[in-house]
Amino acid sequence: MIDRTVLAVIDHNIQGSEAVITPEVKAKLLANSVTRGLSISVQTFKGAVTLIGAAETEHQKTTAAKIARSVVGVKKVNNLVRVRR
Protein backbone atom coordinates (compact mmCIF):
# COMPACT_ATOMS: atom_id res chain seq x y z
CA MET A 1 0.00 0.00 0.00
CA ILE A 2 2.79 2.44 0.82
CA ASP A 3 4.55 1.76 -2.49
CA ARG A 4 1.46 2.76 -4.49
CA THR A 5 1.12 5.98 -2.51
CA VAL A 6 4.76 6.88 -3.15
CA LEU A 7 4.41 6.16 -6.86
CA ALA A 8 1.28 8.31 -7.05
CA VAL A 9 3.12 11.22 -5.43
CA ILE A 10 6.10 10.82 -7.75
CA ASP A 11 3.83 10.64 -10.80
CA HIS A 12 1.95 13.75 -9.68
CA ASN A 13 5.23 15.65 -9.20
CA ILE A 14 6.49 14.68 -12.65
CA GLN A 15 3.27 15.81 -14.29
CA GLY A 16 3.29 19.00 -12.24
CA SER A 17 6.81 19.89 -13.31
CA GLU A 18 5.92 19.30 -16.95
CA ALA A 19 2.89 21.52 -16.52
CA VAL A 20 5.17 24.28 -15.23
CA ILE A 21 8.18 23.81 -17.53
CA THR A 22 6.38 23.97 -20.89
CA PRO A 23 4.60 27.30 -20.33
CA GLU A 24 7.70 28.82 -18.75
CA VAL A 25 9.86 27.90 -21.76
CA LYS A 26 7.18 29.28 -24.11
CA ALA A 27 6.95 32.52 -22.14
CA LYS A 28 10.72 32.99 -22.17
CA LEU A 29 10.88 32.32 -25.92
CA LEU A 30 8.20 34.98 -26.50
CA ALA A 31 9.92 37.46 -24.19
CA ASN A 32 13.32 37.15 -25.89
CA SER A 33 13.96 39.53 -28.80
CA VAL A 34 15.89 36.87 -30.75
CA THR A 35 13.23 34.15 -30.52
CA ARG A 36 10.03 36.22 -30.20
CA GLY A 37 8.71 35.78 -33.75
CA LEU A 38 9.60 32.13 -34.18
CA SER A 39 7.03 29.38 -34.46
CA ILE A 40 8.43 26.79 -32.06
CA SER A 41 6.41 24.15 -30.27
CA VAL A 42 7.59 23.03 -26.84
CA GLN A 43 7.02 19.56 -25.44
CA THR A 44 8.20 18.34 -22.05
CA PHE A 45 8.49 14.80 -20.75
CA LYS A 46 10.28 13.91 -17.51
CA GLY A 47 12.36 17.08 -17.62
CA ALA A 48 13.39 16.65 -21.25
CA VAL A 49 12.25 19.57 -23.40
CA THR A 50 11.84 19.11 -27.15
CA LEU A 51 11.79 22.18 -29.37
CA ILE A 52 10.22 21.74 -32.82
CA GLY A 53 9.86 24.41 -35.48
CA ALA A 54 11.85 26.64 -37.78
CA ALA A 55 14.30 29.51 -37.40
CA GLU A 56 15.84 31.93 -39.86
CA THR A 57 19.35 31.65 -38.39
CA GLU A 58 21.53 29.26 -36.43
CA HIS A 59 21.77 31.98 -33.75
CA GLN A 60 17.98 31.86 -33.24
CA LYS A 61 18.10 28.07 -32.97
CA THR A 62 20.88 28.03 -30.38
CA THR A 63 19.30 30.88 -28.43
CA ALA A 64 16.04 28.91 -28.18
CA ALA A 65 17.94 25.94 -26.74
CA LYS A 66 19.80 28.16 -24.23
CA ILE A 67 16.50 29.65 -23.11
CA ALA A 68 14.98 26.20 -22.60
CA ARG A 69 18.04 25.05 -20.61
CA SER A 70 17.71 28.09 -18.32
CA VAL A 71 14.33 26.94 -16.98
CA VAL A 72 14.40 25.24 -13.59
CA GLY A 73 13.63 21.53 -13.86
CA VAL A 74 14.91 21.10 -17.42
CA LYS A 75 17.34 18.18 -17.55
CA LYS A 76 17.83 17.90 -21.30
CA VAL A 77 16.94 19.84 -24.45
CA ASN A 78 16.27 18.14 -27.79
CA ASN A 79 16.59 20.96 -30.29
CA LEU A 80 14.76 19.84 -33.45
CA VAL A 81 14.39 23.40 -34.74
CA ARG A 82 15.48 23.55 -38.36
CA VAL A 83 17.21 26.53 -39.91
CA ARG A 84 15.61 27.70 -43.15
CA ARG A 85 18.16 28.11 -45.91
Q: What confidence tens digit (pLDDT) does each residue in 70-84 have?
A: 999 999 999 999 999
Contact 47, 17 (CB under 8 A): yes
Q: Residue 79: what pLDDT?
A: 99
DSSP state of 34: T
pTM given for the model: 0.80
Q: Which structural domain range is residue 37 located in?
A: 2-83
Give the CATH number for residue 71. Answer: 3.30.1340
Sort residue 44 into left (φ over 0), alpha (ψ -120 to 50) or beta: beta
Residue closest to 35 by CA, chosen among 68, 75, 77? 68
Q: For 3-62, how does the pLDDT look when each residue is reduced to its tens digit (9 = 90+)?
A: 454 444 444 455 558 889 999 999 999 999 999 999 999 999 999 999 999 999 999 999
Sort residue 47 into left (φ over 0), alpha (ψ -120 to 50) or beta: left
Number of compact structural domains in the chain = 1
85 band by pLDDT with thresholds 50, 70 and 90 = confident
